[in-house]
A and B are shown apart, each in its own frame.
Chain A
Amino acid sequence: GAGVSQTPSNKVTEKGKYVELRCDPISGHTALYWYRQSLGQGPEFLIYFQGTGAADDSGLPNDRFFAVRPEGSVSTLKIQRTERGDSAVYLCASRRIYGYTFGSGTRLTVV
């Protein structure tokens, strides 16, 4: 597609549940990033994929967070046993050479 697509745009889940957030990058972009943006803050890095592999996962806050990109295009961010503190906007970005293109994000609310 023309841009980075993220689904769902909004997700409300109960504390303790499992959620999956999807990112569909721009075709041909080999680099893919996940960021988390809490209210009133700038985006914080979570994980970076180069192709299918996670090249840098240093931003994942704990082992409840996991992300995959099995075929080098679509990526899924998975959060287990969600907590209220996980509520945020999760942004995905893809990059070919220099420019990062961001999606509109998934707003996750844990109640």
Chain B
Amino acid sequence: AQKITQTQPGMFVQEKEAVTLDCTYDTSDPSYGLFWYKQPSSGEMIFLIYQGSYDQQNATEGRYSLNFQKARKSANLVISASQLGDSAMYFCAMRGRNTGTASKLTFGTGTRLQVTL
């Protein structure tokens, strides 16, 4: 079974500062993918960044970077230069490679980020 744990129900960050959202995972699949999604109040899940378990380098997408520590089974999201529009729920998710886990994303419970002036 796959499990994603997000231990921060809520986070505050000042505008223009960087913030790290924590994510740990558990899986028995030898190969897997890790995702971060943003969910604003409108409800749509917006893809932010992807990290494959065998990728040699940490993923980066603009102001988003993923701090992947495989041995610790952590995949923390770092948002640099926070903006007011970054205020939203953030979900970490995983997809495996084996039958039964390859077809679907398993999500964590999310972290609500609030960016303040």
**Partner-B contacts on A (CB < 8 A):** 31, 33, 35, 40-45, 48, 50, 55-56, 58-59, 89, 91, 93, 98-105, 107
A104 lies within 8 A of B105 (CB): no
Residues of chain B at the chain A interface (Cβ within 8 Å): 4, 33, 35, 37, 42-47, 50, 91, 93, 100, 103-110
Q: Given A56-B100, A98-B50, are A42 and B43 neighbors across the interface (CB < 8 Å)?
A: no
Q: Which of A43, A44, A55, A104 contacts B103 (CB 8 A)?
A: A55
Complex: A41 Cα to B47 Cα, angstroms: 18
B7 to chain A, nearest CB (A): 13
Q: Which residues of B contact A93 (CB under 8 A)?
A: 45
Contacts of A41 in B (CB 8 A): 109-110
Q: Does B43 contact A45, Cβ atoms closer than 8 Å? A: no
A-B contact pairs, 15 of them (CB 8 A): A33-B104, A35-B105, A44-B107, A45-B105, A48-B103, A55-B103, A58-B100, A93-B45, A98-B50, A100-B35, A100-B45, A100-B47, A102-B45, A102-B46, A105-B43
Which residue of A31, A35, A59, A103 is within 8 Å of B44 (Cβ)?
Answer: A103
Are B109 and A99 within 8 A (Cβ)?
A: no
Q: Chain B residue with minimal CB distance to A33?
A: B104
Rounded to whole Å, the gap between the CB of B44 and the closest CB of chain A is 5
Q: Which residues of A contact B47 (CB under 8 A)?
A: 99-101
